[in-house]
Amino acid sequence: MIDLIPAGLVHADLLGGMHRICFAEPWNPKSMAEVLALAGTEGLIAVDGKSLAPATEPPGPAGLILWRRIFDEAEILTIAVLPPWRRRGVGARLLDAAMENAARAGALTMFLEAAADNEAALALYESRKFNRVGLRKGYYGAIDGVTMSCRLDETSVSS
C-alpha cells in the first residue's frame, strides 16, 4: 500500500538521494531545500512499508513529486519513481495528487516538461489530459524537452 506524505525541508536529503537514483543530472539536497523554500512550492513523497520491505523495517520511499503554484498556474518541477516501483501506479498517484492539490489551491492550468525520449512519462501525462504545447531543442543535452499543459478546471484526475 502506497501512502503519500507531505515533503518538507526536513526531507531534503531523502529527496536528493531519490533524485540521484532516478536522474543522470540530479538535484542535490541543497537544491531540494532551496526549491522547497520557494513560496508556493509543495511536494509529496510516496512511501510503502508492506510490499517490498520486511514487516520489521520502517516504510521506504517509492517516489516523489514537487510542484509550484503561482496565482492560477502550477508547474510540476520534478517527479521521480524509484526503479522497483516503476509501472506500478506510483507516478500516476503522485501526479493525480499534485493536480488535485494545485486545483484546490486555485490553479487553473498545470505545466510540466519531460524528455522527449521518456515514453512512459509522456504516456502518463497524456493519460491525464496534458497536451504537448512546445519543444525545447536540446534541453536535456542531446534530448529535446517536451512542454505540456493541462487545464485543471476541465480535467478530472480520478480517471
CATH number at residue 10: 3.40.630.30
Residue 133 domain-assigned?
yes
Task: Please write down the HEC assignment for all residues of the chain.
Answer: CCEEEECCHHHHHHHHHHHHHHCCCCCCHHHHHHHHCCCCEEEEEEEECCCCCCCCCCCEEEEEEEEEEECCEEEEEEEEECHHHCCCCHHHHHHHHHHHHHHHCCCCEEEEEEECCCHHHHHHHHHCCCEEEEEEEEEECCEEEEEEEEEHHHCCCCC
> Is the pLDDT confidence value at 157 over 60?
no
* Residue 159: predicted pLDDT: 43
Residues with active-site annotation: 113, 125
Note the pLDDT of residue 155.
62
pLDDT value, residue 140 = 87
Q: pTM for this structure?
A: 0.90
The domain tally of the chain equals 1
Q: Which domain holds residue 143?
A: 3-154
Does residue 158 register a pLDDT over 50? no
- pLDDT grade, residue 156 (50/70/90)? low
Q: Which residue has the higher pLDDT, 26 or 141?
A: 26
Residue 159 lies in a domain: no
Residue 119 lies in a domain: yes
**pLDDT for residue 49:** 61
**What does pLDDT average to over the chain?**
91
Q: What is the pLDDT of residues 55-110, one digit of tens each?
A: 545 568 999 999 999 999 999 999 999 999 999 999 999 999 999 999 999 999 99
In a domain, 109, yes or no: yes
In a domain, 87, yes or no: yes
Is 142 part of a structural domain of the chain?
yes
